[in-house]
Structure 1
Amino acid sequence: MNWNKLTEASQIQEIKALSEAKPVMIFKHSTRCSISSMSLDRLLRKWKDVDNEKVTPYFLDLIASRDLSDLVAKEFRVAHESPQVLLIKNGQAVYNNSHYGIAYADIMGKI
């Protein structure tokens, strides 16, 4: 998977603009949480190279950037969760899920 790292607040506006042409997925990951690690691993095992043509993936390290994670929740009007995946289209969150609900098929089905 070709992750783009979400590390700056200014990237949120970039993500909104990018999502006008192609969906953007944000994966919010806690490096201290075994459920987060398992959810990420399940997603990565199913991910195919061709999926990068369908969706632009962003990775947000919650431990390093908690304030940024809160800003993502506010900007896209979703409750903060960890782990969490959001799918952004046309500048809006059209899908989000967390914990064991994070599923490759569900994400790809919303694209």
Structure 2
Amino acid sequence: MPVSTLTDGAFASDVLAQPGLLVLDVWAEWCTPCRALVPIFETLAERYDGRVRVAKLDADANVETVTRFDVRALPTVLIFQDGVLVERLSGARALGVYVDAIEAQLSRGSMAAVPLVPASPERVVAPSTSGDSDAIREARELLAHPEAMLVFKHSNSCPVSFTAKRQYDHFVAANPEVPTRLVIVQQERELSNALETVSRLRHESPQALIVRAGRVLWDASHGGITAPRLEQAFVTVQPPG
């Protein structure tokens, strides 16, 4: 299947409303590095024919989409799963980088399986005991925050986690009033394990939790962590009034 061409006018119907995986090359005619991706995207289209849609979009002719998805460098490759942006790769990369990114998304499955808000009721944290460790006490204090707080568990050895971390950073920059706690798993292993114990949520990294007053109000992991989803989740969990 050849590489298809997308435009602003049909972006909602061709991308946002479409199921499955789409890999989009945002390019420009004047961009010399963009030319390096032409044979790479042709190879991807052939290799993943029938499994992944591969497309390109002219940045100069489609400013609305470029602005909407904050494309600041060319080329930029945007990966969408079921109409949701799950990863971006800026600059020309080797074929293997795009293959790894595609395979990671294919192995993860449909984003439809990652709900915006949890399907199960909010979770009450595990009760305290006299033998609680310092890490357990710290985890309990975090989850007992009186305001809705975002706790983000990040692995600094995982490419998927770095993608989610960029989404977390975008959200934090746009919402400086929201209390947050970044837990880097490799540096705070005991706290990370304690959060799993106290929250009763299986550990994943990346993982985002919205907590308040001893309850986990919302959680997501991997590609389910995006700035728009965090924004909407905080609107959902805020008390009325």
What residue ranges of structure 1 are gaps of 5+ in the alignment?
Answer: 1-7
Give the 3 Å change call, closer, same or farther, for CA 17–31 of structure 1 in structure 2.
Answer: same
Rounded Cα–Cα distance in structure 1 between residues aligned with 2:186 and 2:233: 28
Q: Please state whether the residue corresponding to 1:69 is helix, strand or coil.
A: helix
Shift of 1:74: 1.3
Residues 22-67 of structure 1 deviation map (CA, whole Å, 9 limit, x = unaligned): 1111110111111111110122134435x232x2110101012222
Q: Deviations over 1:63-108 (max 9, x none)?
A: 1222221110111111100111110022111111111110222222
Quick one: which of 30, 33, 43 aligns to 2:158?
33
- Provide TM-score, normalisation by structure 2: 0.38
**Is the 1:77–1:93 contact (alpha carbons within 8 Å) kept by the matching residues of 2?**
no
Letter in structure 2 aligned against 1:40: K
* 1:1-111 matched pairs, under 5 angstroms: 9=135, 10-18=137-145, 20=146, 22-49=147-174, 51-53=175-177, 55-111=178-234
How many residues align? The count is 100
Q: Aligned partners of 2:227, 2:196: CA distance in 1, in Å?
A: 21
SS at match of 1:52: coil
Runs of at least 5 residues in structure 2 that lack an aligned partner in the other structure:
1-133, 235-241
Percent of residue pairs bearing the same amino acid type: 26
AA in 2 matched with 1:107: L
Q: TM-score, normalised by structure 1?
A: 0.78
**Cα 1:110–1:90, aligned 2, differ >3 Å: closer, same or farther?**
farther
Rg larger for: 2
Distance 1:105 1:89 in 2: 20
Structure scoring higher RCO (CA < 8 A, sep ≥ 6) equals: 1
Secondary structure of the corresponding residue to residue 157 of structure 2? coil
Letter in 2 for 1:52: P
Which segments of structure 1 move beyond 6 Å, counting only runs of 4 or more? none
